[in-house]
Amino acid sequence: MSFRLLALALTLTLPATGPARAVAGEEKIQPAPPTDPNEKICENVTQIGSRIAKKRVCATRAEWAQRRLQDRQDAEYIQRGITTATCTAVKTNGQQIC
């Protein structure tokens, strides 16, 4: 019984001794820093077929965004092609065999 009472007392006192929280009106949301779409950014790109070889590629923010969008669209296109029934039908005796 005393153990339950002690556990209950500790549970009730923990939130009161926690870190102080900011009042809702005191929080200030900082706007994101402006990003220049023409800013040049360089990244190290791993070469396909190698875990070590890397190539340094430099492009603007807009070009990187376009490249990522194109990569995403290519991956979705490939995934859709795998899930749809693509069949090269061969006719033998009037029937299609896939």
Q: How do the domains of the chain map onto residue ranges?
A: 37-84
pLDDT at 48 over 90: no
CA distance 33 to 35: 6
Are 96 and 90 in contact by the 8 Å Cβ rule? The answer is yes
Strand partners, 72: none
| Residue type (1 letter), 14 | L
Token pair belonging to 39: 């800013």
Residues 6+ apart with CB under 8 A from 85: 98
Instruction: Determine the Cα–Cα distance for residues 94 and 45; give it in Å rounded to an integer.
Output: 52
pLDDT, position 8 = 61
With CA atoms as reference, report the closest residue to 98 among 86, 80, 81: 86
Q: What is the pLDDT of residues 50-85, one digit of tens each?
A: 888 899 999 999 999 999 999 999 999 988 887 555
